[in-house]
């Protein structure tokens, strides 16, 4: 009788082991190819994103769509564990220019409602939010990115330069932490 009862226990252990193995493999596939959490470090995207917020990033944009203007993206900083969070402004083939605190894409002013509070702060300080630059032509396979906190952002205007498509890790979908500030970022 004891022999018969150990066989179902072995099967139960094997079933649990299989379930755990499948769960681990599935979690790894999801994290490496579909979605991954990232933490915002710094104030370059303020007030849209704040230092310490945690984002859920959609990594499928390379094979299930395309990168579009306005997307908030995570950029591989080419150093281990260094990433940047920026907004896509210029697409391949675009000409980007800022003049008199207005941003132009291919000669047309880009309306950026997400900058309203930053514009008020810049006016109070007597500064332009977006200093003059360009025109800058964006080559094929590259993107022009900027932080929403234009007064305090290293981006395609300075330091980061144009971003090759393969450096874009994914698109921010939503903030999931802190829990009282959960919000969509698209």
Q: Is residue 137 part of a domain?
A: yes
pLDDT(28) > 90:
no
Q: Across residues 144-157, what is the average pLDDT? A: 94
Q: Is residue 16 part of a domain?
A: no
pLDDT(3) > 60:
no
Percent over 70 (pLDDT), the chain: 90
Q: Is residue 5 part of a domain?
A: no
Q: Is residue 56 part of a domain?
A: yes
Dist CA 158 CA 150 (whole Å): 11
The gap between the terminal CA atoms of the chain, to the nearest Å, is: 62
The closest of 158, 120, 142, 123 to 44, measured between CA atoms, is 158
The number of folded domains in the chain is 1
Q: Is residue 44 part of a domain?
A: yes
Q: Is residue 12 part of a domain?
A: no
Q: Is residue 18 part of a domain?
A: no
pLDDT band at 30 (very low <50, low <70, confident <90, very high): low
Q: What residues make up the domain containing 43?
A: 36-184
pLDDT(33) > 90:
no
Q: Which CATH number covers residue 168?
A: 2.10.109.10
Q: Across residues 130-152, what is the average pLDDT? A: 94
Active site residues: 44, 86
DSSP string over 100-139: TTEEEETTEEPP-GGGHHHHHHHHHHT--SS--EEEEEPP
Q: What is the pTM of this model?
A: 0.81
pLDDT for res 122: 86
Q: Is residue 1 part of a domain?
A: no
């Amino acid at each position: 009788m004891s022999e018969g009862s150990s066989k179902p226990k072995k099967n139960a252990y094997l079933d649990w082991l299989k379930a755990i193995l499948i769960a681990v493999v599935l979690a790894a596939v999801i994290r490496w190819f579909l979605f991954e959490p990232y933490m915002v470090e710094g104030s370059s995207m303020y007030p849209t994103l704040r230092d310490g917020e945690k984002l859920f990033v959609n990594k499928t944009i390379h094979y299930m769509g395309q990168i579009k203007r306005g997307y908030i993206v995570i950029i591989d900083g080419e150093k281990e564990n260094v990433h940047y969070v920026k907004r896509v402004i210029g697409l391949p083939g675009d000409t980007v220019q800022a003049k008199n605190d207005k941003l132009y894409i291919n000669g047309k002013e880009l309306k950026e409602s997400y900058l309203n509070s930053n514009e008020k702060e810049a006016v109070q300080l007597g500064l332009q939010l977006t200093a003059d630059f360009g025109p800058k032509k964006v080559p094929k396979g590259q993107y022009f990115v900027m932080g929403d906190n234009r007064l305090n952002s290293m981006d395609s205007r300075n330091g980061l330069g144009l971003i090759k498509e393969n450096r874009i890790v994914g698109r921010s979908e939503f903030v999931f932490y802190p829990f009282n500030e959960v919000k969509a970022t698209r």
